[in-house]
Structure 1
Amino acid sequence: MTQNIYRYLSLNTEKHLEWFLGYLEGQAYFSSPLNFNDPFEMGATISPPSIEALMIAIPEVHGNYLSKNNQRKVAENVHSKFKSDPQKVVSEERMQNIGVMCLSEDKNNKLMWSHYADSHRGICIGFSTEYPPFSLAKKVIYSNQRPEVPFARSDTLSAEVIGKILLTKSLDWEYEKEWRIIKRKLSENEKLFYKESLNKNSDSIDDIVDLLANHDGPGLYNFNESSIKSIYFGSRIDENNKKTILSRVNKLPFKIKIFQCEIDRRYFLINFNKINKNDK
């Protein structure tokens, strides 16, 4: 089902304002999880391999010179070490190859306005999930337990595993009602596979070119500006920033609903007052 999801942004520097104006031109930045404020990000651990699985793997590593009894001792020792010292699934090097955009299903969250929109001096922009990449956004799952990923001897992480790692956060963050879009950098083997597919079937050129262009980890990506549905000015927004943004919005060939946030005089509420597109 199509819905709107929102991104809170600061405007406290010229660079931040420039980044926001980039959204109006159909450009969005996907950041590495290394830059996130939660130290538990990408903290999934590898679940201990079973002793039986290790018994199968040991001869492949050490050869067949170990007796069955010694193989079991080695397997039990490795299993015990995994349990006592869980290993992280994703290294910093791998995190550098993953780009993420964080959004929320809630535009009226006082804590989000404070934490991510520079204490209400920033802005919130709403996107429709009707259009990519927002149609690919996934809900974050909140849990008291860090995710575990089954042990595997492959260096390649599947999209499913990356999703599990990136879409699980502590219950402490549940108030954010977060959604995420993930841009995983394709491995060289994956790129080679798609290029070979292109040589075999040129009819799929558009799909493959689009796939290669939209899976390159952190960085700027283009999107359809029509996915922008609304803009909310923080209650403390700088008037010069507001004028700059309104001037740019007035030149756009598509419609965006614009609101000014105001603090309610009686209750702990944020009110949204709609303003005309051509207000300056």
Structure 2
Amino acid sequence: MFKFYTIPSEDIIDKLIGEEATIKLSSAFNLNDPYELKFNLDIDPLAEGHEKEYYKNNPGSSVQDFEDWKKHATEHDGYTWYAEQQQRNSVAQTIALCSFTDKNDNNLMWSHYTNNHKGICIEYKPELFEYLKTQKGYLVFWKVNYSDEPPIVKGLDDVNQKVEKLMFNKQSEWKYESEHRIVFLSDKDTEFIPIERKFIKAIYIGSRADTDIDKKILSVCNNTDIEVYYGITLGKTYKVHFEKYKNGTIYSRAFWR
């Protein structure tokens, strides 16, 4: 699996691939898609099970309270919309995630997530995800589904069903990302999970990365098993390809360098 990173300064390189390497989790509120976690709620107040669920979520309520809720949910068109936003916000405030992809040669990904090919892409070994599944707060690791319409969430879906539908569905326009997500319970905007460097297989340096970034990565990866590759955008095709670093070799990566 691969993950793209913008590198605003050399310090972040140590945090990502140094001796005390980490994986960054971000709150669902901080994701770049304004339609993130969007869904369509299907509530049938008369369906069997709603009464039990109502009292579970509203302890101390009376039978009349439940009847009032049924009437309100049935007769007010805005109720479903309000309930959707309430549940969407509730999930977003308690969930953090980290996104990966199964390919590293997509030009759009390099442009969008590495500051126009100036950042890096890290390849992680499969063992990383087995390790992350043992960490506190882990919920689920799954591939994102892409569709033209938001998923339908039933009023009586349990928490796990709701999280899976909200967290693993995106618009079809994002399909090029081929995204996989690992999701944790967290109320923080940003959180870093320590990992061992043995889980890092390779680093791919963007074709427009600054020379200082190159040197820092080579220094950090020196005397480790982490392979280093340069992204090459010169040639006869639009496809990004990679050449493994070899000491003493000069890599012509982008025509404006």
Q: What's the TM-score bracket when you normalise by the shorter of the two chains?
A: 0.7 to 0.9
What is the distance in 2 between the residues matched to 1:143 and 1:91?
18
**Unaligned residue ranges in structure 2 (runs of 5+):** 56-60, 134-139, 251-257
The answer for the alignment partner of 1:7 in structure 2 is 3
Asked if 1:241 corresponds to 2:213, the answer is: yes
Q: Deviations over 1:234-275 (max 9, x none)?
A: 1111111111111111143xx122211111322112121011
Asked if 1:63 corresponds to 2:63, the answer is: yes
Match of 1:77 among 70, 75, 78: 75
Match of 1:261 among 204, 227, 231: 231
The answer for the alignment partner of 1:107 in structure 2 is 104
Q: Deviations over 1:85-139 (max 9, x none)?
A: 6623535454232110011111101000000011011100001223334676311
User: 1:58-207 residue pairs with structure 2 within 5 A?
Assistant: 63=63, 76-77=74-75, 80-82=77-79, 87-88=84-85, 90-92=87-89, 94-131=91-128, 132-133=130-131, 137-152=141-156, 158-185=159-186
Give the structure with the larger helix fraction.
1
**Unaligned residue ranges in structure 1 (runs of 5+):** 187-215
What is the distance in 1 between the residues matched to 2:185 and 2:151?
19
Which SS does the other structure have where 1:269 is aligned? coil
Could you tell me whether the CA contact under 8 Å between 1:133 and 1:181 is conserved in 2? no
Calculate the TM-score normalised by the size of structure 2.
Answer: 0.77
Could you tell me whether the CA contact under 8 Å between 1:137 and 1:181 is conserved in 2? yes
Could you tell me whether the CA contact under 8 Å between 1:30 and 1:221 is conserved in 2? yes
What is the distance in 2 between the residues matched to 1:72 and 1:221?
44
The alignment of Structure 1 onto Structure 2 pairs a total of residues equal to 238
Could you tell me whether the CA contact under 8 Å between 1:55 and 1:75 is conserved in 2? no
The answer for the alignment partner of 1:212 in structure 2 is none
Could you tell me whether the CA contact under 8 Å between 1:89 and 1:149 is conserved in 2? no
User: Percent same amino acid at aligned positions?
Assistant: 24
What is the distance in 1 between the residues matched to 2:54 and 2:104?
56
The answer for the alignment partner of 2:242 in structure 1 is 272
The ranges of structure 1 where at least 4 consecutive aligned residues each deviate by more than 6 angstroms after the TM superposition are 57-60, 277-280
Match of 1:230 among 186, 189, 202: 202
C-alpha distance 218-55 of structure 1, shift in aligned 2 (>3 A): closer
C-alpha distance 251-90 of structure 1, shift in aligned 2 (>3 A): farther
